[in-house]
Structure 1
Amino acid sequence: MPVLARWIEAAGIPTVVVTMMPAVAEERRAPRIVGVEFPFGHSFGMPGDKAMQRRVLELALRVLAGAAASGTRVDIDIEWPVPLRDAYKAWQPKEASPIVKKLLATWGRA
């Protein structure tokens, strides 16, 4: 995402990256970063939690509008409502998909 954001910025369009890995986004020189401590796939918050999603979106828009300098990073102060360990576990399917099974077998990890 940071590389794409830089490319879009080069065309004159300001961007902000909302990411669970803000340190990586900084290393990759994303122009503006909003860091969230949420499970992968949930950059803007819990499914159905419109208030949480709105807070993330509003912060991203404030960073986009107010960050004069490239390289601005703001970490949001919202905690995920369940322990992250449990959230990551729940996110994983109980059984690997056919393509993952094939890859694991190829790598000798099946």
Structure 2
Amino acid sequence: MTKIGKRIIIIAIPVVVSAVLLLSSVFSAAKFNTFNCFSSFPAFLGIISGSENVTEIDGGKIIMCPPADSVEKLADYLKGKGIERDPENDMGGRIGFIENGEKIQFASRINGYYGLFTRV
């Protein structure tokens, strides 16, 4: 590879990364009225793949809820799935729930979405 070819590659990589982050930031501004491109990047990829509105609890790994206005709306949704609200389990910006005696913590709102819950 020639010296010019190497320089083109060295320049192209940061340009591509910058373009992806800029596109994510524009998406973030349009969808969530914020410019935090890092927290909206997973949702951005979800839009591209067509799976943005996936709402699923599968084996206790991940949930992606549609935008919710309040913890109560999320609690109502999860109650239908057999998961009860557990305010005593709230900790460090996480919302506590309990399912069959097992404690669960959801990450708090990220751009209107709740997601990434973990078993405690």
Q: TM-score range by the shorter chain?
A: under 0.3
Which of 1 and 2 has greater Rg? 2
Give the structure-1-normalised TM-score.
0.24
Give the structure-2-normalised TM-score.
0.22
Return the structure number with greater strand share: 2
Q: State the structure with bigger RCO (CA 8 A, min sep 6), 1 or 2.
A: 1
